[in-house]
Amino acid sequence: ANYAHVLVSRPQPAVALVQLNRPKALNALSAAHFKDITDALVEADADDSVGAMVLTGSDKAFAAGADILEMKDKTFADAFTNNFLANWEIITKLRKPLIAAVSGYALGGGCELALMCDIILASPTARFSQPEISIGVIPGGGGSQRLTRIVGKSRAMELCLTGRMFDAYEAERWGVVSRVVDGADGAKKEGGTESISPVVKEAVDMAATIASKGRVAAIACKEVINASFEMPLTEGLRYERRLFQSLFATHDQKEGMAAFAEKRKPNFTNS
Ligand code: HXC
């Protein structure tokens, strides 16, 4: 499908790339923009030919937050009755791995959107923050919860109470992002009208690697890691072991282990 506010492409046969495309507003997340993002991701998630997904913005902004102009006159009754922002949870229900490639501003809801992804890669220009306190509110898309689980209480308090920005390297030190991808080996790759930044290229390559593994195992792997945030350790370990055991019912387990024994590459069939 075509979307007004996102671009969807297939940089690799099994990788869907969803790019936020509301540049004049620095990818501020209006309701319509956010619906396009979730619709495009849900569509890719349901597509059998897709093994992993990448979400990115522009060089200047991953996303500068929820659309302040759109929400400034909202009443409590409206926000509460219509369960404002509840639909953000859709992204956390996707089954295939989702990588965020962040350049520029990832602020407020933009930071929270990145935190909902499974892996975050950042370019050196990435700037994160939870600045809601400066406009009279607090994080509403998981910033106080997901960020706190990653960076700990003191840093989460500091970041959410001051609203200050933190850069790609702080984010890397704290484990908010997997790593910073600096464009050392060849700034931008130009190909006709298409240009792809180093961080997006790295994310697409990583997604292609993930997509090359057995699909059933990849989905199970994402599910058990996410379960570690929801379950006590004993339950999480039991859940992991049960899913591990169940993978012995798959063709890909037989194929993967046979390929190792026969010293050849596995031919996974996602079954
Ligand atoms: C609506 C926004 C916007 C936003 C930028 N714009 N951020 N519009 N909502 N969050 C628009 C500006 O109005 C402006 O439009 C254009 O984008 C360019 O922005 P400038 O401010 O002119 O650019 P610059 O001076 O480079 O500053 C960039 C910036 C600043 C530092 C990112 O725009 C900024 O502070 N934005 C707000 C960031 C923020 O507070 N985000 C959190 C929102 S609350 P015009 O038409 O004037 O050119 C939130 C709650 C989340 O996210 C709850 C859970 C989802």
Distance 255 CA to ligand 1 centre (A): 50
Q: Give pTM, 2 decimals.
A: 0.96
Q: Which residue, among 193, 183, 244, has the nearest Cα to 217 in the 3D structure?
A: 244
Q: Which residue has the tokens 């792809």?
A: 196
Residues in contact with ligand 1 (CB, 6 Å cut-off) = 25-26, 28, 64-69, 85, 105, 107-109, 112, 131-132, 135, 140-141
Tell me which residue has its CA closest to atom 18 in ligand 1: 25
DSSP H or E run through 196: strand 194-196
Q: What is the DSSP letter of 187?
A: S
Neighbour-count burial of 170, counting CB atoms closer than 10 A to its CB (0-12 exposed, 13-18 middle, 19+ buried):
middle
In angstroms, what CA-CA distances link 252 with 161, 197, 248?
48, 34, 9
The DSSP call for residue 269 is -
- Terminal CA-CA length for the chain: 27
Residues 6+ apart with CB under 8 A from 263: none
Of 58, 60, 68, 167, best ligand 1 pocket probe by most atoms within 8 Å of the beta carbon: 68
- ipTM of the modeled complex: 0.97
d(CA 114, CA 62): 8
pLDDT tens digit at each of 271 positions of the chain: 899 999 999 999 999 999 999 999 999 999 999 999 999 999 999 999 999 999 999 999 999 999 999 999 999 999 999 999 999 999 999 999 999 999 999 999 999 999 999 999 999 999 999 999 999 999 999 999 999 999 999 999 999 999 999 999 999 999 999 999 998 654 454 444 457 899 999 999 999 999 999 999 999 999 999 999 999 999 999 999 999 999 999 999 999 999 999 999 999 999 9
